[in-house]
Amino acid sequence: MGINIAMVCDFFHPGVGGVENHIYMLSANLIRSGHKVIAITHSHPPDRVGVRWLLPSLKVYYIPFPTIASSATLPNYFTFLPYLRTIVLREDIQLIHGHASLSSLAHEGILHAHLMGVRTVFTDHSLFGFDDAASILTNKLLEAALRNVDAAICVSHTGRENTVLRARIPPERVHVIPNALVAEQFRPSPVPPGGDTITVIVLSRLAYRKGIDLLVATAPRICARFPNVRFVIGGDGPKMIDLLQMREKYLLQDRIAILGPVRHSDVRNVLVQGSIYMNTSLTESFGIAILEAACAGLYVVSTRVGGVPEILPEDTISFANPDEDDVVRAMSEAIELVSAGKHDPLRAHERIKDFYDWKEVTKRTEAVYESVLESEPCDFWTRLQRTLDLGRFAGIIFAIILLVDCLFYMFLDWYLPEDELDMVEMHWEPEHFQEAVDEYEHSKKSETA
């Protein structure tokens, strides 16, 4: 018997990015193993509104909330409840899975879940510092949201340490389940990029956190040192101007190709043009881009930050400190190694393709869901006590939010009683699908016979 799961996150299709992709792939695989999954996100007016279906029967609710910045909605704690209550009750949801620590919809979903007797899981995808005003504020919001969560998932051991410190939750409640990739989508090209030219690929958002300053400082030095090296840089962002300036200043227009934004479906085709992948990120929770490049048979040079050292064996990736000279050193070694023909893309792909698998990730996530559903939910007083423990001021504020939320729920219960709601009936189940497939194949067989 499958579980009815609601994925709640501000960041979802049609937005693109690591979180969006993760939610989609996880949902698709959960559906495949017999669960019912819906996704709840904010709408993208004018055309992405209402209820939509995504391919393997994933229903997406687009809630009409305006966004404030970079696709995040305003944390207002109550306005989501009327929508969420109706959706959860109609869809008979048993578990809410929130994603991303900057998504206020996910926080709200976790806050409201206990009112409907729904259990909660939260996945944190990113790393945050502790020493600036924005981090202090968002860490407090996260701590409040995760006070009463049943389980949390982080994508790397570094991410787990970070989340435990930020949200002050017991470490045994946090699970480490990595991201995954579809290895078939990142096959190296059957003909390795030949010739003397060595192409270095950089695919990244061009932002400060991705270490574009390091790229800007090292690319001309590498070009000067190795006349047979060219760069292909994909992505867009505020640092684009610096890159263009650098290319113009050192007259490297014929050796540095700047592609601009690259669609995720085109990533593989860009990757296989080169033989070295360079990543200069200053912080990275998991580094899926590195994994994709390594899987496509590229030799990876990366800065040693965050969770990157955990994702691949030491001998398939070479590390540099986030310092100009050391990046040049690591890149020079990589270029020499690749030009000596010591790196075989096909062998690297064969080795890496089995490390990560969505089926495995789904199985491990299911185990978390099951343990959460088996555990005893904590009662209201424990919740209130835990919330009050948040701090002298924050505790009271969030306790008031919790209480008002309960009153609001009581009002909604009176205004729109549960027995007046139309339940969603799914006429389409995996068994039906299998039956249809069998029938089709049977008819085909009898036709040929």
Partner 1 sequence: MSKDEWEAEWERVLWKKKPYPDNYVPRSFLSSLSKNPNFKPYTYWQLVILSCSISQHLASIYVFLAVFMGLRQRLLDPRALVWISVGVFFTGYAIWEILERGRADSTVRTTNRAKTVKGSILVFLALMSLSPVLKTLTAATSSDSIWALSASLFILNALLADYTALRPQSHRRERLTSVLSMNAAISSSVVLASRLSDDISVFGLILFSVQTFALFPMLRRRIQDTAKPLQILVTILLCGLSIALTYPLSSTATYLYIACYTFVTFVAPGMLVWAQRFKNEIRGTWDPAVPKVYRRLSVSR
DSSP-assigned beta bridge partners for residue 73:
67
Binding residues vs partner 1 (CB under 8 A): 127-131, 151, 153, 156-159, 161-162, 164-165, 171-178, 208-209, 211, 213-214, 216-217, 238-239, 241-242, 245-246, 249, 280, 282-283, 303, 305-307, 309-313, 322-325, 355-356, 360, 364, 367-368
- Nearer to partner 1 among residue 103 and residue 139 (C-beta): 139
Buried-state track 120-155, b at ≥16 Cβ within 10 A, e below 16 = bbbbbbbbbeeeeeeeeeebbbbbbbbbbbbbbbbb
Rg over alpha carbons for the chain, rounded to the nearest Å, is 24
CB 146 within 8 A of CB 122: yes
Q: Strand 50-54 vs strand 58-63: parallel, antiparallel, or unpaired?
A: antiparallel
| Smallest separation, CB 376 to partner 1 (Å) | 17
- Nearer to partner 1 among residue 211 and residue 297 (C-beta): 211
For 253, the 3-state DSSP assignment is coil
| Smallest separation, CB 100 to partner 1 (Å) | 16
Q: Specify burial of residue 437 (Cβ count, 10 A radius: 0-12, 13-18, 19+).
A: exposed
| Smallest separation, CB 136 to partner 1 (Å) | 12
- Nearer to partner 1 among residue 57 and residue 158 (C-beta): 158
Q: Is the peptide bond before 14 cis (omega within 30 degrees of 0)?
A: yes
CA distance 208 to 216: 11
- Nearer to partner 1 among residue 157 and residue 264 (C-beta): 157
Give the neighbor-by-neighbor strand order of the sheet with 36-42.
50-54, 58-63, 36-42, 4-8, 95-99, 119-124, 151-154, 174-176
- Nearer to partner 1 among residue 71 and residue 316 (C-beta): 316
| Smallest separation, CB 217 to partner 1 (Å) | 4
- Nearer to partner 1 among residue 104 and residue 303 (C-beta): 303
| Smallest separation, CB 48 to partner 1 (Å) | 32
| Smallest separation, CB 204 to partner 1 (Å) | 14
Which tokens sit at 155?
Answer: 């994508």
Residue 246, CA distances (Å) to 215, 220, 432 in order: 10, 8, 59
| Smallest separation, CB 436 to partner 1 (Å) | 35
CA distance 127 to 307: 9
The candidate with the shortest Cα–Cα distance to 330, out of 340, 343, 319, 342, is: 319
| Smallest separation, CB 223 to partner 1 (Å) | 14
- Nearer to partner 1 among residue 38 and residue 223 (C-beta): 223
- Nearer to partner 1 among residue 344 and residue 360 (C-beta): 360
Buried-state track 203-229, b at ≥16 Cβ within 10 A, e below 16 = bbbbbebbbbebbbbbbbbbbeebeeb
- Nearer to partner 1 among residue 104 and residue 158 (C-beta): 158
CB 236 within 8 A of CB 261: yes
| Smallest separation, CB 282 to partner 1 (Å) | 4
